Structure 1
Amino acid sequence: MDFRNLWPSLDLIIDAGPIIQNQGNRNGSTIVDLSVKGEYKIVRDGCAKDQTVKILKEFGLKEIHD
């Protein structure tokens, strides 16, 4: 499937490589909402959640909770 029609609407894409099996977990992508400056919200957990959260925190972003 091709998502080129969405590209003009995106501000940022982070690609950390292929999905790998992590401790028996082969979930899909971790989806993050970055629409609020300086904050993030995990929309969907995925196989890269822990690594993603670590990077976001290293850049000083704060997690939004519902």
Structure 2
Amino acid sequence: MGRFRSKNTAPEIAVRRLLHQAGFRFRLHRRDLPGCPDIVLPRHRVAIFVHGCFWHQHGGCRVARVRTH
């Protein structure tokens, strides 16, 4: 699991781009909130956690598998 970044992952950046294009303003990685959410929309009181392929284990995805040697 050490190979996987916890911040600024590709899925997280994609979500941030969509939110920004839609005109939302947000904060990143607020440590003062439980779980340290990836994206926080303070005006709407919403916290967003973005989990990528490793956590969801998408079928056929090469990074979704845990490799043991």
TM-score band, normalised by shorter chain: under 0.3
Structure (1/2) with the larger strand percentage: 1
- Pick the structure with greater CA Rg: 2
TM-score (norm 1): 0.25
Higher RCO (Cα < 8 Å, 6 or more apart): 1
TM-score (norm 2): 0.25
